[in-house]
Structure 1
Amino acid sequence: MSTCFFSALFPISGPLVVASLLPHSTVKPALFWQFLLQSYSAGFNYANRNSSSEQGYNISLKQLLLITGTVSYTTCAGALPQIFINRLGLRSSAVQTFFRSILPIPLSATLAFFNVLTVRSEESETGIQVFDHNGNPVGVSKAAGEKAVWETALSRAALFGMTATVPNLLVLLMKRPFQRNSLLVAPLRHISTALVLGLMIPVSFSLFPQLGTIKREQLEEELQAAAVGRHLFYHRGL
């Protein structure tokens, strides 16, 4: 299963993540690569949602506006480090190090979390299908939908947060040894970013099981009455 996740996510997201984490010289390329990354992430999150409660396959206007707003917001937020450097004219080496190497770490994790949380918010609002241990449908639960979305958001935050952490910290640690040959910094950043992303994809998707469980007492009252056993099950989505 993790091989399928890797083949679906890595070939496109890999180059986009590498490009979005580069120390750009101007704001425009930072916005461009962030737009591509956040658009692909939003599309991937929406395509791999749990749609068990949806009546049709057509995307609603509300969902379309939500996805558009999410991509717009995360694109601008993702480019904030470069915007601060350029617009404020920051020249201090220590300040630039903070905005280029430190700030992108929590920012990448937060934006990945936010992307899932907003794009798949409909699951929390309308609920998803829950099953008993025999696979029989019990009903649609908002509590299960909220749990599924939060678990997925946390796993995506771990994926992009760790992918930003290791290369940036590695570049910081190797900054002094590479002072005489700064051309080695870029290959080190590119290779380490792609390597960590590739390793973290199966890890992040394995943080929570695809077939999630929820306790009977956490369900809505009407579902508790119909439930058999202490736990019910739901499909989390990717």
Structure 2
Amino acid sequence: MDANLRLWRAEGQSFLQRFLLWADALDPLLLLTSSTRQAFLLSLSSVHPDTEKIIPVMFRPPAFLPITLPLVIVSSAQHRAKHSFFSQFVFHTYTTAFTLVNGNGTPKAQEYSVHQKQILLGLGAISYSACVGALPLMFVNRYALKSSLMQLVVRKLLPAPLFGVTSAFTVAMVRSPEFDNGIEVMDRHGKVIGVSKKAGEKAVMETALSRAVLFGTTFFLPEVLMYCVQRARLVKNPRGLSPVRMFVIMSVLAGMLPVSFSMFPQCGEIKRADLEPEILASTEETEFFYNRGI
């Protein structure tokens, strides 16, 4: 078992433990240092726990906030379908690439050209998600639906569930080979005892759900907070609403990142009864573990 997974297994049993670890590991300043007194944080943020390879800088967890923040702000502010499609295409391109880099390696990757398949599935998911996100604006603009209710629904209420669902969809698509080929499962001593499709399904579904919560909340909560700010007239100058909005989005995204990453253990556990018979036939162990990915 990789040293990072051992750390997650030992120190990440509860949500609070995982949250505190992620709060430190997501620090963008880790991108600027090659040595630190807390070497384990540098390892958690830069070494892939499944392949043990160094993760490219822009796809490391500490880079997620600095890169996605401007993409979220731009995507939430678009009122034209064409611009909305482009901004969401860029947004989903980065988050999908991040998912691909931080997912599980597949044991049959070379034999079945899994990486090429993941890239094709990812491109399809990105295009589909961008189209789905821009469709309501295209519908409203095309048919000149300017009623206050329609504008409220399309511009304020729909983006949150759409971004949540499409973010989960891109995760499921780009990591779908983990359904087909399975991922490695280990015993309590860290020894790989087999490859399980059921563990792969569990890992992908947990990650997809956490991503839906992350971006669903990030697009919904700022709208609620900004509505309260405007109703209470806390900002007198209308020009001051834009920087306040950016600050609110940044605060929500920064807070939700460790929360969403901590929803499920990084070193996931799967019950013996949930594994395939061929794996159970080779061992008497009762505890099995896997890398969930991000």
Tell me the TM-score normalised to structure 2 length.
0.76
Matched, 1:107 2:162: yes
Q: What's 1:39 paired with?
A: 93
Q: Which ranges of structure 1 fall in alignment gaps of 5 or more residues?
A: none
Matched, 1:231 2:293: no
What displacement does 1:222 show?
0.5
Which of 60, 77, 86 is the aligned partner of 2:132? 77
Deviates more, 1:87-96 or 1:213-222: 87-96
Q: What's 2:25 paired with?
A: 4
What displacement does 1:81 show?
3.1
CA distance in 2, matches of 1:206, 1:98: 31
CA distance in 1, matches of 2:167, 2:287: 29
Instruction: Describe how 1:6-25 pairs up with structure 2 within 5 A.
Output: 6-22=61-77, 24-25=78-79
CA distance in 1, matches of 2:182, 2:62: 29
CA distance in 2, matches of 1:173, 1:85: 26
The 8 Å contact of residues 106 and 181 in structure 2, kept in 1 or not, is answered as no
Q: How many residue pairs get matched?
A: 237
CA distance in 2, matches of 1:180, 1:87: 34
Which of 64, 70, 74 is the aligned partner of 2:119? 64
Q: What's 1:30 paired with?
A: 84
Matched, 1:212 2:233: no
CA distance in 2, matches of 1:219, 1:69: 31
The 1:55–1:98 alpha-carbon spacing in structure 2 relative to 1, beyond 3 Å, is: closer
The 1:54–1:4 alpha-carbon spacing in structure 2 relative to 1, beyond 3 Å, is: farther
Which of 192, 199, 219 is the aligned partner of 2:255? 199
The 8 Å contact of residues 99 and 174 in structure 2, kept in 1 or not, is answered as yes
Which of 134, 142, 145 is the aligned partner of 2:189? 134
The 8 Å contact of residues 132 and 228 in structure 1, kept in 2 or not, is answered as no
Amino acid of the residue matched to residue 201 of structure 1?
L
Q: What's 1:50 paired with?
A: 104
- SS where residue 107 of structure 2 aligns? coil
What displacement does 1:21 show?
0.9
Matched, 1:91 2:112: no
What displacement does 1:186 show?
2.1
The 1:188–1:90 alpha-carbon spacing in structure 2 relative to 1, beyond 3 Å, is: farther
Amino acid of the residue matched to residue 206 of structure 1?
S
Identity, % of aligned positions: 42
What displacement does 1:59 show?
5.5
Q: Give per-residue Cα distances to partners, 1:51-83, cap 9 Å, x unaligned.
A: 042444976443222111011001111222322
Q: Give per-residue Cα distances to partners, 1:209-234, cap 9 Å, x unaligned.
A: 10000001101111112233322000
Q: Give per-residue Cα distances to partners, 1:164-214, cap 9 Å, x unaligned.
A: 111111222333344964323322221111111011111111100100000
Amino acid of the residue matched to residue 4 of structure 1?
A
What displacement does 1:29 show?
1.5
Q: Which ranges of structure 2 fall in alignment gaps of 5 or more residues?
A: 1-20, 27-60
Q: Give per-residue Cα distances to partners, 1:103-143, cap 9 Å, x unaligned.
A: 11111111111111111001111000000001111110000
